[in-house]
Amino acid sequence: MTAASGAPTVKCLVWDLDDTLWDGVVLEGDDPEPFPAALETLAELDRRGILHAAAGRGERSVTGRHLTERGLAEWFCAVRVGWGAKSASVRRIAKALNIGLDTIAFVDNDPVERAEVASELPMVRCYRAAEVGQLPELAEFRPEHITAEATGRRRLYQTEWQRHEAEEEFTEGREAFLDSLGLVMEVRPATEEDLSRASELTVRTHQLNSTGLTYGIDELRRLSASPDHQVLLARLRDRFGDYGIIGLSVNELIGRDSVLRLMLMSCRVASRGAGSVLLHHLIRRALADGRRPVAHFTPTEANRNLLVTMRFAGYATTAGEQDRLVLAVDPRRPQGKAPGHTRVIVGAERPARETTQEARPR
């Protein structure tokens, strides 16, 4: 069993299939039943918001048919079946789900397959098939919060796969595809019911996280009630369905500055330009209140793209404090243009006055 001390919580467990998920080999003419312990682990990890994917050997059509006939297909967000290296399948799964390899775990009955994955992808945690029933008890499979979004995360990623397939079939270019989605972002103050999800976001999100700060529920509750702070959540939807709560910002009001202490966005929506949409909204909100938009930023290997997004939104470096940058928007300079493919609304219904362009579904 791979040690996981200090490693992030697992976001996706990638399963080998033959002799790991089920008892037998499909291509040898078997009609194998899933191991009871595997079924229990599938259900329990899914309840916690941990995704499942498969990297098996064989023919995709045959394996896919067996997954469906056994009622197992619905558990998986991505399935890769073929004869190539398992590490390549794991890498493609991480890319398709847009999550870091250090949040992937892999389980296989074959020690050679585990060794190959461990050698090529040392950040991926590998486990023996015999350990499947014990995985839910391990710390790396126990997220701090189990929210409504967590229990429905599998369906969100399955819907995202539908979007992925639709984009592959779309022939008019990426911007036209984004415009066709009819994206709507709702930005509103966090409520008591939101605090678990907000705290979960600070723990789970690394790629689009401005400072890496984490907030517990009690701290978020205190900040939400403070007149000197603004805790906002962003929710996204499109013609395929609801992405759920995907963004969080924490601003502190200091003098005439609105200081962005933390802005993060779920990696699931990175390809939708959602981070840029939220940043432009926060800038316009601060300027409308007569405040200078300021942001603190802690550079990491994972959040470089967010810094680029912030610079395009109008933030420029004004100072450096040890490992932290201080950025600010000059109210006297022309502001960058927000992405036009997303409509922003404030609260439950009222459209934001600062919206620049509404998406036009096609």
Burial state string for 268-299 with b = 16 or more CB within 10 A and e = fewer than 16: bbbebbbbbbbbbbbbbbbbeeebbbbbbbbe
CATH number of the domain at 12-141, please?
A: 3.40.50.1000
Residue spans of the domains in the chain: they are 12-141, 174-346
CA distances from residue 193 to 22, 189, 231, 237, 347 in whole angstroms, order as listed: 39, 11, 13, 19, 15
**Residue-wise pLDDT tens for the chain (362 aa)?**
544 446 789 999 999 999 999 999 998 887 899 999 999 999 999 999 899 999 999 888 899 899 999 999 999 988 889 999 999 999 989 988 878 899 999 999 999 999 999 999 999 999 999 999 999 999 999 987 776 666 677 887 878 777 877 888 888 888 899 999 999 999 999 988 888 888 877 776 655 678 877 788 888 899 999 999 999 999 999 999 888 888 899 999 999 999 999 888 887 787 888 989 999 999 999 999 999 999 999 888 778 888 888 898 899 998 877 788 999 999 887 667 778 899 999 974 333 333 333 333 33
DSSP secondary-structure letter at 348? S
**Is the CATH code 3.40.630.30 the one for domain 174-346?**
yes
- The residues near 85 (Cβ < 8 Å, ≥ 6 apart) are 116, 120
Amino acid code (one letter) for 225? A
